[in-house]
Structure 1
Amino acid sequence: MIRGVLRLHRTALIVWTVFVLGSVAWLVWLTEVTADDVQAALDACRDTPAGYCGFWPSRDYSGPMGWTSTFMYYGFWAVAAWSAGALIGRELESGTARLAWTQDVSPMRWLAAKLTVPALALIAGGALFVPVFRWAWSAHRDLMGDNWGFADVFAARGPLVVAYGLCALAVGALTALVVRRSLPATAIAVAAVIVLNRYVEKYRPEYWPTVDGDGRELPATVWQLGDGTYHPQSHFWPLHLVETGIVLAVAALATFAAFLLLRHRTHPARTPRQESLA
């Protein structure tokens, strides 16, 4: 089954691999090449009579860095669509899944293999991307704003970005098993993970107690929330790990529900005698 999933979905796995490797290579280029060019432009500008460059030169570095994290973060939309439409929904709709279940492959084993391969690919991609992004984000802080609270940067600096991918995978599979038609399942799965993401993001500042500024002037590195309250940078990991736990819990529930639903639908019906014996 593992080999079958790899063969059937090799195009998607190749696209994912190219995307991750391309993102990593781009981050290295930004950090090792673009940053030096931007810094040289800023130094040259400071030598002019005006002596002020504004923020435009640094955007050549901070802008692409931010977009890289954005594409990786919101990639869970694509994961949900692929999981619901191609990974599970298409085989249920075409009858390929039932054919596999008659070839000494149980429904539970079929679903386990379907989810294991992409889950490992998501984890491996995140294990490569996250450390590189953390290194790139921290390498030239003077060229970037103090934006650690931004949604995409917040997720890309830790395992949260992987958690959202795994959650999208599980929700897509569950949706496909419920709907059993690829296109409607795709639309519903994407909508579901977007709603979940927006809801979880909305309450992100509340996942850890805030600090009261007491009317003091706050440094630029804090995540200010208004009314004198804020999160210092030291709150990043508590906030990040709490949200990661929430998203992984949803992923686990969706996975459990998917297996439970599949078992219920494929379990042989009992005969009247079996019902009486039970």
Structure 2
Amino acid sequence: MSTLTRDPARTKPAAGPRRRWVPRLGGAVWLVWRQHRAALWTLVAVMIIGVAVMVHLRAQTMDFLAAQAATSRRPGGLPPEFETHVDRLHAVGSYFSYIPVLAGVLLGAPLFAGDLETGTAKLVTSQSVSRMRWLVTKLAVPAATLALSTGVLSAVFTWWWNPLKGLSDALIWTTFFSVTGFVPVAYALLTFTVGAVVGLLLRRTLVSMVVTLGVVVAIGFVWSELWRSLGHVMSISTDRGVGSGQVPPELPAQAEQLGQGTYFLTSSGDRLEWTTCLDQMDDDRAHTACLESKHVIGWSLDYLDVSQMQTMQWLGAGIMLFLAATVAAFVVLRGRARLL
């Protein structure tokens, strides 16, 4: 009697090589990446090239400073050749001002406008993908790529600027306030969502891009006028008169003076514009008598200190992120209620 408990004809197949799991995009994420792959891959390429360029330029700058330290710097400071490195830093920093514009006009504005104009939105929402999921994915994939690319570029640029910021008056912190830290990321996300909502409302790609450009320029103007108000204005004054031999107070290192200039300080603590008694400047006695009649005892200056930079940046970035989140929420709610 046979003791076989299984059919010998059923042989176990030979074990093949194991397949390694490779993460792949799928579903709505893949669709969004496929639709905007040109813009998204461009972002990644710009990030890689920008990082390589900045790392190379920073290495040159640090080698220059190391050589100057080895040969003992002159009493007057760094040689004129250092201005070449300063100009490079300014040139690269100036390109950061284009990121919010490009994020809004080229990435945000066509995001929904293109699909609504060509009818792709109607096709997608008629499939198994829900409208809510499609809207969230449409915003999340480009936003994540934009935040990553801008964040890496900003981090490397900040790393380049940090050891140089106290070495030249041309490298004052206010010049680099909007291109270092987390501000560029928040700024780019804000303009991106603004472009997205413009495209959702206007439903025409070219028109949306033009309108977004105007809105982004307006946002840039408002930001340039208001970001200094995020800090706490500090004052420095003297009380030894303003006559011969007396000079206005000297600001701390890397501080930026605010206002129209130096103010006159009176004995009561009030401040007068520097144009006070200006019409009597030609006559020293008359000018002195005029100032004495107004009880002027010294000068006073307003300024922002470099120690406030990071706090101001996080506050400004927080405000822009809040606005971006609000606009994104409006896009999702509006698109869910009325998309086609």
TM-score, normalised relative to structure 2: 0.70
Superposition deviation, residue 145 in structure 1:
2.7
**Secondary structure of 1:224 counterpart:** strand
Match of 1:166? Answer: 189
Larger radius of gyration: 2
- Which whole-Å CA distance do the structure 1 matches of 2:79 and 2:170 have between them? 10
Aligned length: 261
- Which whole-Å CA distance do the structure 2 matches of 1:127 and 1:82 have between them? 19
- Which whole-Å CA distance do the structure 2 matches of 1:3 and 1:54 have between them? 53
Matching of residues 127-138 of structure 1 within 5 Å: 127-138=151-162
Deviates more, 1:117-126 or 1:93-102: 117-126
Contact 1:89 1:181 in 2 (8 A): yes
Go from structure 1 to structure 2 and tell me whether the alpha carbon gap of 1:87 and 1:154 turns closer, same or farther (over 3 Å shift): same
Write the deviation string for residues 56-110 of structure 1: whole angstroms up to 9, x where unpaired: 5223211221222221243110011123443221111111111111112222211
- Which whole-Å CA distance do the structure 2 matches of 1:30 and 1:165 have between them? 25
Matching of residues 86-97 of structure 1 within 5 Å: 86-97=110-121
User: Which residue of 201, 212, 215 corresponds with 1:178?
Assistant: 201
Superposition deviation, residue 205 in structure 1:
1.4
Superposition deviation, residue 6 in structure 1:
1.4
- Which whole-Å CA distance do the structure 2 matches of 1:123 and 1:255 have between them? 15
- Which whole-Å CA distance do the structure 2 matches of 1:42 and 1:53 have between them? 11
Superposition deviation, residue 116 in structure 1:
0.7
User: Which residue of 36, 43, 46 corresponds with 1:9?
Assistant: 36
Go from structure 1 to structure 2 and tell me whether the alpha carbon gap of 1:4 and 1:241 turns closer, same or farther (over 3 Å shift): same
Match of 1:19? Answer: 46
- Which whole-Å CA distance do the structure 2 matches of 1:41 and 1:266 have between them? 63
Match of 1:67? Answer: 91
Gaps of 5+ in 1: 268-278
Contact 1:126 1:159 in 2 (8 A): no
Go from structure 1 to structure 2 and tell me whether the alpha carbon gap of 1:126 and 1:266 turns closer, same or farther (over 3 Å shift): closer
Match of 1:274? Answer: none
Q: Which amino acid in 2 is paired with 1:217?
A: E
Go from structure 1 to structure 2 and tell me whether the alpha carbon gap of 1:104 and 1:18 turns closer, same or farther (over 3 Å shift): same
Q: Percent identity?
A: 27
Contact 2:109 2:198 in 1 (8 A): no
User: Which residue of 180, 197, 208 corresponds with 2:220?
Assistant: 197
Q: Which amino acid in 2 is paired with 1:147?
A: I
Go from structure 1 to structure 2 and tell me whether the alpha carbon gap of 1:85 and 1:242 turns closer, same or farther (over 3 Å shift): closer
Structure with the higher helix share, 1 or 2: 1
- Which whole-Å CA distance do the structure 2 matches of 1:59 and 1:28 have between them? 18
Match of 1:276? Answer: none
Match of 1:222? Answer: 255
Structure ranking higher on relative contact order (CA contacts 8 Å, 6+ apart): 1
Matching of residues 47-126 of structure 1 within 5 Å: 57-126=81-150
Matching of residues 236-275 of structure 1 within 5 Å: 236-266=309-339
Displaced runs of 4 or more, over 4 A: 37-44, 51-56
Match of 1:235? Answer: 308
Q: Which amino acid in 2 is paired with 1:224?
A: Q
Superposition deviation, residue 29 in structure 1:
1.1
Deviates more, 1:53-62 or 1:74-83: 53-62
User: Which residue of 174, 183, 191 corresponds with 1:149?
Assistant: 174
**Secondary structure of 2:157 counterpart:** helix
**Secondary structure of 2:173 counterpart:** coil
- Which whole-Å CA distance do the structure 2 matches of 1:171 and 1:266 have between them? 17
Structure with the higher strand share, 1 or 2: 2
Q: Which amino acid in 2 is paired with 1:18?
A: A
- Which whole-Å CA distance do the structure 1 matches of 2:310 and 2:68 have between them? 35
